[in-house]
Amino acid sequence: MSVSTIVIAELLGGIALLLWGVRMVRTGVVRGWGERLKLVLEQQLRTRIRAFSSGVFMTTILGSSTAMVLIVSGLVAAGTVGPATGLIIVLGADVGSALIAALLASGASHTALLAPLGLSIGYLIFSSASGFRTRALGRIFIGLGMLLLALRLIVGAAIPLQEAATFQIMLNALVSEPLLAFLVAALLTWLVHSSLAVLLMFSSLVLTGTLDAAQALPFLLGLNLGAGLPAISATLDQPPSARRVPLANLGCRASVAVFGLFFIDQLRAFVGNVDVDPMIVLAALHLSFNLITAIMFVPFAPLLIRGTQTLLPDVETGDSDLPKPRHLSADAVISPQHALSNAAIEALKMAELVEKMLNFSLSALNSGRLEGIEKVNKVHEILGQFANSINAYMGLITSSDPTEEDAQRAFLIMNCVTNLAHAGDVIKRNLSRRIARKIRVGVQFDEEHLAEVAQLARIIEASLRLLVPALTVSDIDTAVELARQKDRFRATEDKLIRRYLSTQGNSSTEGSIVSIFVDVIHDLHRINSHIASSGYPVVSAAGMLKASRVANN
C-alpha cells in the first residue's frame, strides 16, 4: 500500500473519529442537561450582552455552533425567542465554537496527550454509573477523549504530506489561487459539517510545516463561510421563521469572509510579518474572524432579520386552518348581549385550540417524533393571543356598568378563558416537554400504555364538547355533566395508577417507563381539571355544588 493511500486513510479516519467525538460530547450534554440549557437560554435574554454571552457560554459547553443554531432556530420558530435575539445568540455561539477550536488548534501538540485520560475517566464513569446524568457525563468524557485522540491522528497523518509530491503540487496550486482555496475549504466544511475538523486538518499542515499561516488564510476564510452552511441545509424543510436566523448568520459570515478575500494579499503580508508561533497565529485569526463578525453585526441584528423576512416571507402552512380572533371589534358591538356572544364564540375557538394542542402532543407520543411538539408551541402562541384579546375585550364591556345578568355571563366567559389558557399552559410546559424528554431518552410505551392514555384523552375531549353551557346560565344539567367530568377522570386515573404501581417491575428501565407514564397521566388530570372547572360557576349559582369533598366526622 502506498504512503499516500495510508495518509488519506489516516486523515479520513481521524476526521471521522473527531466528528464522532464531537457528537458524543453534544449527545451527552443534550441528553443530560438539554432541557435545562433551553430553560437557561429562554431566561437569560433580557439584554444583547446577556444573549450574546449565553451563546458563547452554551456553545462552549455544547461543542457545536451548528447544534446551537438549530436549537435557537427552533425556539425562534416557536415564538419563545425573538428572531433578532436569536441572531445575537448565534453570533455568540460562533465565537464560543471558535474559542474551542482555537484552544485545540493552538495546543494541538499538547492537548492530544490528554486523550487517554479522557477515555479512561469516561469509561469508568459510564460503566459504573446507574444515574442518567452521570452516564451522560461519562459520555462527555469519552467524546472528549475521542476528539483529542483524533487530533493526534490527524497531526500524525499530516507529517508524511511534506514529502508527497502530488499533494504538494495540488496544495501549491490552491495556495496560488486564493478564490479556489476559499471555495474548496467552504465546500469541505459543509460536507463534513464541522469547522473544527477542517480547522484542525489545516492546523496539522501548519504544524508540520506543509503550510505557513499566511498561506492558510484563504482556507481559513473559506471554512468560516462553510461553517454557516450546515444549518442552512438542515432547516430547508422548516418554516420561514426557523430559517431566517441561519440565513442571517450565513450573510454575516459571508460578508466578512468575502471582504477578507478581497484584501487577501494585504492580510498575507501582515501575517507573514508576525513573529509568533504559526499555530497560535492561525488560532487567533480564526477567533478574530468570529469576534469581528459579532462586533460588526450584533448592533444591526434587527435590521438583518428584517432583510431575511423579505427574502423568506411567511407563507400559508398547515397553521392556516387555526382560528384567529375575528369577532372582538369594539366598534361593531350593537349591545352588551351581542358583545358577550362574540366573546363566547372566541372562547369556544380557544377550546378548539386546546384540543389541537392535546392531539399534537399525543401524536408525538404515539409516533416518537418531535414535529408534533413544535406544532404545540405554535398553537400555544395563538391560544395566548386569544386569551389576551378576549380579556381586553371583556374589560371594555365590564367597564360600561352592565346589568347583573350580563356581569354574571361575563364572569362565566372570563372564567372559561382563564381555565382554557391554564390547560394550554399545562400542555405546553408540562405534557409536551415531558413527551419530548421521553422521546429523546428513548423510552417506549407499549400498546397498552398508549391505549390508556387515549382513553383519558377521550374524557378530556368530552369535557371540551361540554363547554358551551359553561358560557351561559341556562343549561344547568349540561354544566353539571361538565363538572362531573372531573370525577370520571379521577376514577379512571386512580384505577390505572393503582394497577401500574402494583405491577411495577424491578428493572430500572421498567420503573422509568412507569414513572413517566404516571407523570403523563397527572398532566392529563390537570388539563381535564382546568376544563371541567369551567362548569363550576353555573352549578354553584344553581346551589348544586358541595362546599367540600371532605366528609364530616
DSSP code, position 468? G
Number of Cα atoms under 13 Å in the Cβ half of residue 450: 13
In 3D space, the residue among 246, 253, 178, 188 whose CA is nearest the CA of residue 216 turns out to be 178
CA distance 248 to 254: 10
Q: Is the pLDDT of residue 26 over 50?
A: yes
Comparing 60-74, 91-105, 449-463, 518-532, the range with the smallest average pLDDT is 60-74
Confidence band for 524, pLDDT divided at 50, 70 and 90: very high
- What are the grid coordinates assigned to 202, written together? 489545516
Task: For the chain, give the percent of residues with pLDDT over 90.
Answer: 15
Average pLDDT, the chain: 79
Q: Please give the residue that has the higher pLDDT: either 390 or 91.
A: 91
Q: With CA atoms as reference, report the closest residue to 231 among 218, 214, 213, 250.
A: 250
Sorted by where each begins, the domain ranges of the chain are 3-311, 330-541
The letter for the amino acid at 376 is V
Higher pLDDT, 506 or 436: 436
- How many CA atoms does the CB half-sphere of 169 hold within 13 Å? 3
Per-residue model confidence (pLDDT) at position 399: 56
Q: Which residue has the higher pLDDT, 355 or 370?
A: 355
Whole-model pTM over 0.75:
no
Residue 386 to residue 532: CA distance in whole angstroms:
20
Higher pLDDT, 483 or 36: 483
Give the least confident one: 135-144, 149-158, 220-229: 149-158
Over residues 217-224, the mean pLDDT reads: 92
C-alpha to C-alpha distance for 476 and 472, rounded to whole angstroms? 9
Radius of gyration of the chain from its Cα atoms, rounded to whole angstroms:
29
CA angle 434, 440, 441 (to 5 degrees): 90
pLDDT at 162: 60
Axis-axis angle for helices 508-532, 447-465 (nearest 10): 10
Per-residue pLDDT tens over the stretch 403-440: 777 777 788 888 888 999 999 999 998 898 888 877 76
Cα 479 from Cα 481, distance rounded (Å): 5
Q: Which three cell numbers stand for residue 74?
A: 427552533
Under a CB-based contact definition with an 8 Å cutoff, are residues 115 and 149 in contact?
Answer: yes
Q: Which of 57, 34, 96 is nearest to 227 (CA)?
A: 96
Q: Average pLDDT of 488-493? A: 86
Q: Are 148 and 111 in contact (CB under 8 A)?
A: yes
Among residues 11, 1, 8, 4, the alpha carbon closest in space to that of 153 is found at: 11
Question: What pLDDT, on a 0 to 100 scale, did the predictor assign at position 91?
Answer: 92
**pLDDT for 259 beyond 90:** yes
The total of other beta-carbon atoms located within 10 Å of residue 510's CB is 12
Q: At 553, is the pLDDT very low, low, confident or very high (cuts 50, 70, 90)? A: very low
User: Where are any strands of DSSP class E within 21-75?
Assistant: none
Is 108 a residue whose pLDDT tops 60? Answer: no
DSSP category for residue 431: I
Q: Where does the pLDDT of residue 347 fall: very low under 50, low under 70, confident under 90, or very high at 90 and above?
A: confident
Other Cβ atoms within 10 Å of 446 Cβ, number? 9
Q: What is the mean pLDDT of residues 184-212?
A: 81
Cα 75 from Cα 227, distance rounded (Å): 21
Cell 484584501 sits on residue: 263
Domain 330-541 class? mainly alpha
Give the C-alpha separation, 242 to 428, whole Å.
Answer: 19
Q: Contact, 436 vs 375, CB < 8 A?
A: no
Predicted pLDDT of residue 507: 46
Q: And the C-alpha cell for 452?
A: 390508556
Quick check: 104 and 133 in contact, CB under 8 A?
Answer: no
Decide if pLDDT at 551 tops 60: no
pLDDT tier for residue 223 given thresholds of 50, 70 and 90:
very high
**For residue 257, what pLDDT band results from cuts at 50, 70 and 90?**
very high
pLDDT of residue 196: 76
H-assigned helices in 264-370: 264-272, 278-297, 301-311, 336-367
Long-range contacts of 432-436 (CB under 8 A, 24+ apart): 432/357, 432/360, 432/361, 432/364, 432/373, 432/376, 432/377, 433/35, 433/373, 434/516, 434/519, 434/520, 434/523, 435/361, 435/364, 435/365, 435/373, 435/520, 436/364, 436/370, 436/373
The Cα–Cα gap between 322 and 425 comes to 18
Mean pLDDT of 55-65: 75
Question: Residue 346 has what pLDDT?
Answer: 83
Return d(Cα 175, Cα 11) in angstroms, integer: 20
pLDDT score, position 471: 65
For residue 370 the three cell numbers come to 418531535
